[in-house]
Amino acid sequence: MSGGKLDPIDRHILSELQADGRMTNVELARRVGISAPPCLRRVRTLEEAGYIRGYHAEVDPRKLGFEVQVFAMVGLNSQAESDLSAFEQQCREWPLVRECHMLNGEIDFILKCVAPDLSTFQSFLTGQLTAAPNVASVKTSLVIRDAKNEPAVPFEVLEERLSRLA
């Protein structure tokens, strides 16, 4: 089921929760213009259907001492499905790897990594990542600063697209 199959109230609920997942159901219902009981039913249905995967606090990594953020571009020796899956599983087990995305093109995977300092990341890079089975190459780029960090879905783009299709 795509975003277009949700009604405007469901999309509004998702947009509001994406902006503030801690609001009460009563506040959410007020914002989307319905009463609390049907709002709660809709939220539960959206959760059960997988539109809402969880609720999280946005934590500032630097305030917690994670000063280093690095993107690592990884090339593998083999792109057989079993080898890709094995690498993905290995990434899930490395705490410094916060995101792992398989790409098409010259790079097989891009990893977003965080570390408290450069020496910790370097130890991970040389002792684990480059030493992992099937890893052929790793190129890294250190993040200097974040110009934009919006993990949320741009609902305004979805609404504009749906209005053009209507």
3-state secondary structure of 141: strand
- Give the whole-angstrom CA distance, residue 121 versus residue 143: 13
pTM: 0.85
b or e along 87-100 (b: 16 or more beta carbons within 10 Å of the residue's beta carbon)?
Answer: beebbeeeebbeeb
Q: pLDDT at position 4, please?
A: 52
| 68-76 sheet: strands from edge to edge | 97-102, 109-115, 68-76, 135-142
Amino acid residing at 20: D
Q: What is the CATH number of domain 62-142?
A: 3.30.70.920
The tens-digit pLDDT sequence of the chain (166 residues) is 444 589 999 999 999 999 999 999 999 999 999 999 999 999 999 999 999 999 998 899 999 999 999 999 999 999 999 999 999 999 999 999 999 999 999 999 999 999 999 999 999 999 999 999 999 999 999 999 999 988 889 999 988 988 888 7
CATH topology of domain 3-57: Arc Repressor Mutant, subunit A (1.10.10)
Domain definitions of the chain by residue range: 3-57, 62-142
What are the residue ranges of helices labelled H in the chain?
Answer: 8-19, 25-32, 36-48, 81-93, 118-124, 155-165
